[in-house]
Structure 1
Amino acid sequence: MFQHLLVPVDGSEIAARAMQVSIELARKLGASITGFIVEPPAPPPPPAQRPVRYLDTLEQHERRITEHARDVLAGFEARARAAGVPFQGRTACTGLVEEAIVETAQREGCDLIVMVTHGRHGWSELLHGSHTKGVLTRSRLPLLVLH
């Protein structure tokens, strides 16, 4: 059965469901979890902004995303370890979320991806997209989708 789960999370309430279910599943299967968070890259500088000021903005962005990823993954790890589930955390900083998820799953040797979906459709999906659908179309691994 499955031995290594990749669980992309973002710190949202809905992602907490993916954490909970994946920990329960991994515990029952004797599997390990790789928690994964993709942080957004820094925005490009405004045309009129001075380079020194933009470097400050970049440093603030880097500090903010590093702290966010660390906090989210630390909480996930604490829950997994409390349940006796081996855990490792990974991060990426990119706007290509789906590609990062698929590449990380392959690189880490995962055999199942567990994702949560917001259940968007219609205009909402058009405006916000669906990372879950993007992963589904790009990955050859099984994908467990939670709603």
Structure 2
Amino acid sequence: MFKHLLVPVDGSELSLRAMDSSIELARQLGARITAFVAEPDVPLAAVSSNPTTFVKQVEAHQAKSDAHARNVLGAFEERAKAAGITFVGETLTTVAVDNAIVETAERCDCDLILMVTHGRGAFGELLFGSHTKNVMSRTKRAVLVLH
């Protein structure tokens, strides 16, 4: 069965559900968890064209992103360790979240990707896209989707 779960999380209410569900599944399967946080790159439209200001804005964005990832992964790790689950946290700054999830699953040799979906429907997907659908279409690994 599945022995290594990749669980992308972002700190939202839905990702808390992914944490709890993946921990319970890992406990039942005797599996380990790799949690993954994809942090957004600095939006170029939001930064100054002044080189000194630009560097400061990029550094501030990176520091904020790093702190967010540490907080999310730290909370997940506490829950996993309390349940006796082997846990590793991974983070990456990227604009291509879907690709980053697929590549992390391959690099870490995960055999199941557990994701949550907002279930926005066709109109919501048109406006916001669907990371879950994109991951499902790009990976050969099993994907478990929670709604």
Q: What does residue range 100-111 of structure 1 map to in structure 2 within 5 Å?
A: 100-111=100-111
Q: What runs of 5+ residues in structure 2 fail to find an aligned partner? A: none
> Counterparts of 1:97 and 1:122 in 2: how far apart (Å)?
20
1:120 shift after superposition:
1.2
- In percent, how many aligned pairs have the same letter? 55
> Counterparts of 1:119 and 1:103 in 2: how far apart (Å)?
24
Q: Tell me, yes or no, if structure 1 residue 13 matches structure 2 residue 13.
A: yes
Which amino acid is the alignment partner of residue 135 of structure 2?
V
1:46 shift after superposition:
6.0
Counterpart for residue 134 of structure 1: 134
Q: What does residue range 1-147 of structure 1 map to in structure 2 within 5 Å?
A: 1-44=1-44, 49-147=49-147
> Counterparts of 1:48 and 1:25 in 2: how far apart (Å)?
46
The alignment yields a C-alpha RMSD, in angstroms, of 1.2
CA deviation profile, 1:84-130 (whole Å, cap 9, x unmatched): 00000000111101100000000001000000000011221111000
Structure 1, 8-17 or 43-52: larger mean CA deviation: 43-52
1:64 shift after superposition:
0.2
1:142 shift after superposition:
0.5
Q: TM-score, normalised by structure 2?
A: 0.97
Change (3 A) 1:66 1:87: same
Which amino acid is the alignment partner of residue 63 of structure 1?
A
Change (3 A) 1:132 1:49: same
Task: Tell me if structure 1 keeps the 8 A contact 2:48–2:54.
Answer: no
SS at match of 2:84: coil
Structure 1, 39-48 or 128-137: larger mean CA deviation: 39-48
Q: What runs of 5+ residues in structure 1 fail to find an aligned partner? A: none
- Would you identify which runs of 4 or more consecutive aligned residues in structure 1 move more than 6 Å? none
Which amino acid is the alignment partner of residue 97 of structure 1?
V
